[in-house]
Amino acid sequence: MVPPLMQRSPNSELGMRAIGAIQAPLSRTMNPQLATLIKNPPTGEGWIYEAKLDGYRILARIENGKAKLFTRNANDWTAKMPALAKEIESLQLDSAWLDGEIVVMGDKGVPDFNALQNAMDASKGGAVVYFVFDLPYANGYDLTRSPLHARRELLRDVMARHKGSRVKFSDDFPGDGATMLAAACKMGLEGVVAKQKDSLYLSTRTSTWLKVKCTSRQEFVVIGFVDRKNSNKSEVGSLLLGYYEGKELRYAGNCGTGWDMRTGADLHKRLSKIEIDKPALDAGEMKPGRWSKRKPGGERWVKPEMVVEVEFTEWTPEGHVRHPSFQGVRTDKRPREVVREKVV
C-alpha cells in the first residue's frame, strides 16, 4: 500500500515517503527515463497507458521553492517560460524533480507541435501547458527506487490541491493497450506510452517504458536544401535529411511538404546562414544513385546543425523515408543524438 502524502502544515514544505524512498540531497542534474519504440502495445497485467503527447520533454527542478525548467539535454529554458516556472512554484514543493511534456493545445483539442515551436521561437510561454507524469524526487527523498504507481500516487496528491491552468496531471488508463492506441489515433494524438506499474525510474532507455506511435515519425538532421522553383521569395523547396550511424552521417531522403510560405522562407533564411561547399555526408553515401532518387542538381549543402521532426509512412529498402512530411524544428535535440529509430 502506498503511504499517504503527509503535509506538515498548510504553508510549509511537504514531507513525502513511499516504498523504496531514500533520503538524499537534491541532485544538480537529472537525465530522463526514455521509452523504447515498439510496433504493438504490450499485453498482460501490470501496465498503465498514457497518451503520447506531441511536445517537448521537460524536467522541472525545484530548489528552495524556486523552479527551473530543463530540456532532456539539460538546456535551461526557464527564461522561455517564466509564467510556467511561476506556477510550478505554486505547487508548494520545497525541493523536487518533476518529469513531463510541454505542449500547446490546438483548435481540435489535441497538442499542436507547430504551435509549440512558434511559442518557443517567439519566447511566448503563456500558451504552454505542462503535463507532468512522474516525480523522481521530492522534499529530501530520492524516489527513483520507488515503484511507478507510488511515485504517481504522490504526484496525484500534489496536483489534487493545485488550481492553476498551466500545470496538469497526465492521467493514465489501465486495460487494453490496443483499444487505447486505436482511441489515441482516432483523436489525432501521436500514440500511447505503456509503463509497467512497478517500474523504477532509470535515467536511460528502458523496456519498462514503451511507446507505440500512430504513424512513423522521428527527428532528422538537415544536411542540405533545394530552393523552391518559380517563387518570388527565397523559400525552401525541399529539405535533404540525414541521421547518424555511429560517427557517420547517412542520407535519409528528401522532404518537400509540410510547411507554409512563411515557414519555408524562415527555413531558407536559417539554413543559408550555415551553408557549406561540400556535403557533410560520408563519402560512401555520395555514390551515384545511392544518396537520392531525385534528379541531382540545385542542392545547397549545410552544416549538420538543424534538427527537424518528420512524419512518414515507412522506410524504403534503400534506407530513405517514404512520403515524408515536415512537422517542425526541434531545438531541444542535439544533431549527434539523431539516429534511425528502430522498432523493437
Q: Which residues are catalytic?
A: 52
Quick one: cell of 185? 489515433
**Would you say 16 and 141 are in contact if contact means Cβ atoms under 8 Å apart?**
yes
Grid coordinates representing 48 are: 498503465
Give the residue from 139, 236, 261, 155 showing the smallest Cα distance to 147: 155
Other Cβ atoms closer than 10 A to 200: 17
How far apart, in whole angstroms, are the C-alpha atoms of residue 211 and residue 342? 12
- CA dihedral of residues 301, 307, 309, 314 (deg, nearest 10): 60
143 in Cβ contact with 71 (< 8 Å): no
Phi, psi values for residue 60, rounded to 5°: -100, 125
Give the burial class of 220: count Cβ atoms within 10 A of its Cβ; 0-12 exposed, 13-18 middle, 19 or more buried.
buried
Contacts of 157 (CB under 8 A, 6+ apart): 4, 5
Q: 36 by DSSP, 3-state: which?
A: strand
Query: Going by DSSP bridges, is the β-strand pair 205-213/34-37 parallel, antiparallel, or unpaired?
Result: parallel
